[in-house]
Amino acid sequence: MGASKLINYLNKKSLQSNIVGGKVKLTTLKPGDYFYMNLHHGVIGKLVDTGINATVKWIIHPEKSTRGEWIASGTMVYKYNYE
């Protein structure tokens, strides 16, 4: 149990090392920008389109496929340097 917690912690810190700036709303990002959310030990997504709801494509997510999904545009995320 302790080893799995350590691995999860190190993976999360590795993902967080590419965060650019502080928390922002999805509406402030441009289509094509990558973002990081602090869910499920860290998920990375790519913004496809914004509006009332934002369309995102998950790059790294433990439970979702790579197809587009809608989430609230007001969601607070971190801009991410994926390249």
The pLDDT assigned to 1 comes to 63
Mind listing the pLDDT tens digit for each residue in 15-52? Answer: 788 888 889 999 999 999 999 988 777 788 999 999 89
The pLDDT assigned to 28 comes to 92
In whole angstroms, give the CA distance from residue 16 to residue 19: 5
Task: Compare 7 and 83 and report the one with higher pLDDT.
Answer: 7
Contact indicator for 49, 31 with CB cutoff of 8 Å:
yes
Mind listing the pLDDT tens digit for each residue in 65-83? Answer: 777 889 999 999 999 888 7
Domains of the chain and any CATH numbers: 2-80 (2.30.30)
